[in-house]
Chain A
């Protein structure tokens, strides 16, 4: 009560805002830190546009003196099996000559898998979440407890048996084995359940009285209501899948099926034998990272809201 009276009389309380020189001075190290945070990005971008000799210049240049696209495609690079040239290494798009499309193919693979996993896992989870919150089906409480408990077990525990299971099913080295085992995401169900609980049951009941089927209620009422939660989860799932590394590392052998993280990790092996390839690795890293950054700027609001929601709901 006293707080209320205070805020109505708030005009008296609020002092005119003055610029606090002390506070700004205290922030100075933070601005410096912000600059430091950006340096790895800068270092990656300039390395992608340096020529091989410039990459190995000492001290290094902080702006490319002679920007080149050689790290992407170097016309002077020796053909496979040709005389190695220390100043010209095959660019990103010249690597993996056995794969149609090369690096681009990996980007498309990653994009396709990310879309499929995101859409499928969200649909599956939203169905389960609807069943668990808005129906009276017996046993749903037990199911929910089991789902929550499963979240406490680190996923690495199921890594080895899952690998063996997938090989028993003959699904290694295929998209099926890559995608399907990861589709049931407990934390998405948990999050959607939390969100659905804040939505009044009356909406669903009204639709049921009107004779709508459960599937229709899910599709036409629940999914639209879930949109903010789905957007938040879609971002989490999509980012995770874009960067998925350990599972495809174990399951995928054929180069055609590589995703970007696996292709990048292959490049990192090449670096050990020839440091001149670092520019190529940075060009590839840049192309793999750029989409996530663009994605972030496009959906910044959802990102921040989703993260905040996850913290407050849990």
Chain B
């Protein structure tokens, strides 16, 4: 929108005006501008655009990094979509993880935002506590979780389980709890982040609306449904879409929690295998680079389609509100 504004020729944009049409003068006039774009453009083309083009080509080849790639058409995609059970498992696991982590992160983030939105000392302190995990994301934190879910009786998870009358169990060896463990970690690390975004959104809503509503006798719950939620929608949509995209790309927890040797990725019975770890396994353990490239493009297609659906759905809600 604002693009059009700046695109309109400004009379005082540059000293030479009348000759701007000719290419040589254009270059003279905009030379510095293009020179400023150059570092970014160069890196962007060499390390993103060109690799992407190569990736499209590789995805259509049989390529094992030793022999040159041979063109196989859409065989990789056909194999992945029709036959590869391990890939299907990875997609299904990823979908379960995305639904679980995004839903819980958003609901709990919103709950925290509503509970601790003010500038009082207590609320700021609580927000700091809940935000802390998202600051300290990374390998170190995954190791802490690994330590917590340690098989042996001295692990924290087992100690807590025993306290509540349960028995020691091998958390990381039980396929049934693999995805719940990943979701727990995601919510621990992500709810505070969502909360900060929601707090900013909620505090941007004018107080007058709430005052008016309480004069009209609307209960807190009704105010939440009819003022907070609709006005927060842009932020909700933003968190919904960005956290979904991020969740689809999960790698580190899967790779680190269940790795026993360099070549085993995915946990017991592949119960924790998600798309990116599978891509890593195919590409960098088995050197099926063509196949792995096809996985990457399917990941893109999935994220793209899901984002489109999300935009569509949230738009429907928008029309519904009116």
CB A259 to nearest CB in B, in angstroms, measures: 10
A158 in contact (CB, < 8 A): yes
B residues near A180, Cβ cutoff 8 Å:
43, 47
Contacts of B297 in A (CB 8 A): 157
**Shortest Cβ distance from residue A267 to the other chain B in the assembled complex, whole angstroms:** 7
- How many chain B residues sit at the interface, stated as a range, is 35 or more
A159 to chain B, nearest CB (A): 7
B58 proximity list for chain A (CB < 8 A): 160-161
Q: A285-308 interface mask toward B, CB cutoff 8 Å, 1 = contact, 0 = none? A: 110110011011000100110011
Chain B 150-176 near chain A by CB (<8 Å), digits 1 or 0: 101111100100100000000000000
The yes or no answer to A72 lying at the interface (CB within 8 A) is no
Supposing A37-B129, A131-B33 touch, asked if A265 and B256 sit within 8 A by C-beta, the answer is yes
- How many Å lie between the Cα of A137 and that of B140 in the bound state? 46
A165 adjacent to B47 (CB under 8 Å) = yes
A287 to chain B, nearest CB (A): 8
Q: Assess the A165–B139 pair: CB atoms within 8 A.
A: no
Interface residues of B in 248-270 (CB under 8 A from A): 248-249, 251-252, 255-256, 259-260
The reply to whether the CB of B245 lies closer than 8 angstroms to some CB of chain A is yes
B87 to chain A: closest CB distance in Å? 15
Q: Is the CB of B300 within 8 A of A243?
A: no
Report A-chain residues with C-beta under 8 Å of the C-beta of B135. Answer: 239, 292-293, 295-296, 303
> Is B177 part of the contact surface with A, judged by Cβ < 8 Å?
no
Complex alpha-carbon distance, A221 and B7, angstroms: 21
A96 sits at the interface (CB 8 A): no
Q: Determine which of B10, B130, B131, B146 lies in contact with A136 in the assembled complex, contact meaning CB atoms within 8 Å.
A: B10
Q: Closest Cβ of chain B: how far from A62's Cβ, in Å? A: 9
Partner pick for B112 among A6, A30, A162, A281, CB 8 A cutoff? A30
A3-B212, A308-B200 given; A160·B296 CB < 8 A: yes
Which of B70-78, B88-96, B222-230, B279-287 participates in binding chain A? B279-287
A178 at the interface (CB under 8 A from B): no
Cβ of A208 within 8 Å of any chain B Cβ, yes or no, is: yes
B304–A152 CB distance below 8 A = yes
Q: How far is the CA of A160 from the CA of B146 in the complex (A)?
A: 29
A158, B141: Cβ atoms under 8 Å?
no
Would you call B55 an interface residue if the criterion is a C-beta within 8 Å of the partner chain's C-beta atoms? yes
Task: Let me know if B52 is at the binding interface, CB within 8 A.
Answer: yes
A257 interfacial by beta-carbon distance below 8 Å: no
A246 at the interface (CB under 8 A from B): yes
Name the distance in Å between B138's Cβ and chain A's nearest Cβ.
Answer: 3
Taking CB atoms and an 8 Å cut-off, the chain B residues in 191-242 that contact chain A are 192-193, 196-197, 199-201, 204, 206-209, 211-212, 214-215, 234-235, 238-239, 242
- Asked if A191 is an interface residue, CB under 8 A from chain B, the answer is no
| 0/1 interface trace, chain A 128-143, chain B, CB 8 Å (1 if under) | 1011111111101101
Residues of A within 8 A of B104 (CB): none
Interface size class of A (residues with CB under 8 A): 35 or more
A13–B215 touching, CB < 8 Å:
yes
Q: Which of B133, B139, B156 has a CB less than 8 Å from the CB of A245?
A: B139
**A180 to B32 alpha-carbon distance, docked (Å):** 23
Report the separation of the CA atoms of residues A282 and B146 in the bound assembly, to the nearest whole angstrom.
Answer: 10
Known: A135-B33, A311-B238. A157 touches B10 (CB 8 A): no
Q: Do A34 and B130 have beta carbons less than 8 Å apart?
A: yes
Contact of B307 among A34, A152, A157, A300 (CB under 8 A): A152
Contacts of A183 in B (CB 8 A): 43, 47
With A and B bound together, what is the CA distance between A267 and B37 in angstroms? 42
Tell which of B43, B130, B152, B284 has the most Cβ of chain A within 10 Å: B43
A-B contact pairs, 10 of them (CB 8 A): A3-B209, A3-B212, A7-B207, A31-B126, A34-B126, A38-B129, A144-B3, A160-B293, A242-B138, A245-B252
Closest 9 CB pairs of A and B: A308-B200, A243-B138, A285-B140, A161-B51, A184-B43, A214-B32, A128-B40, A161-B54, A137-B33
Residues of B within 8 A of A (CB): 2-3, 6-7, 9-10, 12-14, 26, 30, 32-34, 36-37, 39-41, 43-44, 46-52, 54-55, 58, 65, 111-112, 115-116, 126, 128-133, 135-141, 143-148, 150, 152-156, 159, 162, 188, 192-193, 196-197, 199-201, 204, 206-209, 211-212, 214-215, 234-235, 238-239, 242, 245, 248-249, 251-252, 255-256, 259-260, 276, 279-280, 283-284, 289, 292-293, 296-297, 299-300, 303-304, 307
